Amino acid sequence: MLPSQIRIRVGEYDFSNVLEVHPFQERSVTKKVVHPKYNFFTYEYDLALVKLEKPVDPMPHVVPICLPGSDDLLIGENATVTGWGRLSEGGTLPSILQNVQVPIVSNERCKDMFLSSGRHEFIPDIFLCAGYEKGGRDSCQGDSGGPLQVKGKDGRMFLAGIISWGIGCAEPNLPGVCTRISKFRQWIVENVT
DSSP element (H, E) containing 186: helix 185-192
Query: For residue 175, which of 80, 105, 94, 116 has the smallest C-alpha distance?
Result: 105
Domains 3-62+185-192 and 77-183 share a fold: yes
Distance CA 163, CA 174 (A): 14
pLDDT on residue 32? 97
pLDDT on residue 71? 87
Q: What is the pLDDT of residues 96-114, one digit of tens each?
A: 999 999 999 999 999 999 9
| CATH node for 77-183 | 2.40.10.10
**pTM (2 d.p.):** 0.93
Q: Quick one: CATH architecture of 3-62+185-192?
A: Beta Barrel (2.40)
Query: For residue 132, which of 74, 78, 73 has the smallest C-alpha distance?
Result: 78
The full set of domain ranges for the chain reads: 3-62+185-192, 77-183
Distance CA 188, CA 64 (A): 15
pLDDT on residue 105? 98
Classify residue 109 by its DSSP letter.
H
Mean pLDDT of 27-35: 97
Ramachandran sector of residue 136 (left: φ over 0; alpha: ψ -120 to 50; beta: rest): left
The answer to whether residues 126 and 179 touch, using CB atoms and an 8 Å cutoff, is yes
Q: What is the pLDDT of residues 176-187, one digit of tens each?
A: 999 999 999 999
